[in-house]
Amino acid sequence: MNESSSYTIGVTGSSGFLGSNLVEYLLQSGFSVKLLKRDFNNQDLALCDVIINLSGANISKRWSKSYKKVLESSRVDTTAKIVSAIKDRPNIKLLINTSATGIYKQDSTIIQDESSNLFEDDFLSLLCKKWEEEALKAAPYTRVVIMRLGVVMSKNGGALPKLALPAKFGVAAITGEGDQYISWIMLEDLLRAITHIINNQSISGVVNFTTPYPLTNRELTLRIASEYRVFFKMRIPETVLKLVMGEASSVLIKGVRAYPGVLEKSGFTFVYPNFPKKNR
């Protein structure tokens, strides 16, 4: 019997799409789960063997000056509180802290694995850097894994239903030029990768949670559209996206080609290395 199967996993951000699915998956996998609120105290960690920190306000909203502070506080401050608690809790064997592939330089011509130090100089990248630096302060006390998430896909939530919405109305809507890469991962593989990391103590540091085969925005849009009766294609210009979303539009306009080098080298096998044909 694997020792980790008896672990109690503390999860922050459990009310969101990823968090709620993760809690259900962990319970089905035989773990005990403790839901940690933002106002948790040190005693809440007393029975936890692993902490998975998913806390963070919604990045998809317009980034006003005041909302940027909310985005940073909900990530960096919460992580700092967890790290502070871990220093006094030798029972905690692992911290898995969320980050994003948005930290990387937004250049679709470059394939970036975890060894890459090519980062963007914008708000999202700088936010991820602060977030990761805070989490890594726990490294002297426990194993730390930085989970750099790509775009999470699931027919029941995540990014896919939003991407499919125009196709439901007969439109294949390509964003910007359409040649920007989207580094993605199916929810099932993401959840499996988390338990893979829990069970493999040799894995630490940065881990890209993406498939080996990213798609351009155009490729992804047309694959999704092929499942619907689409009557015409259209392109949403960058100027329109910037007008509607402001600085946050950079997430859609510019692309990152992230590669899951650590997962592949550790023997993880993707159920969905390629984008599935049927998602409805």
- Domain coordinates of the chain in residue numbers? 3-152+184-212+257-265
275/224 Cα distance (integer angstroms): 10
Instruction: Check residue 37 and give its pLDDT.
Output: 86
What SS3 class is residue 129? helix
98/135 Cα distance (integer angstroms): 9
Q: Would you say the pTM of this structure is higher than 0.75?
A: yes
DSSP run (H or E) holding 50:
strand 50-53
Q: Assess contact for 207 and 197: CB atoms under 8 A.
A: yes
Instruction: Check residue 279 and give its pLDDT.
Output: 59
3-152+184-212+257-265 CATH fold: Rossmann fold (3.40.50)
Residue 45 tokens read as 């960690």
Instruction: Check residue 1 and give its pLDDT.
Output: 41
Neighbours of 176 (CB within 10 A): 21
DSSP run (H or E) holding 23:
helix 17-28
10/132 Cα distance (integer angstroms): 19
Residue type, 35: L
Q: Assess contact for 99 and 149: CB atoms under 8 A.
A: yes
Instruction: Check residue 234 and give its pLDDT.
Output: 76
Which residues in the chain come in under a pLDDT of 50? 1
115/183 Cα distance (integer angstroms): 17
223/276 Cα distance (integer angstroms): 9
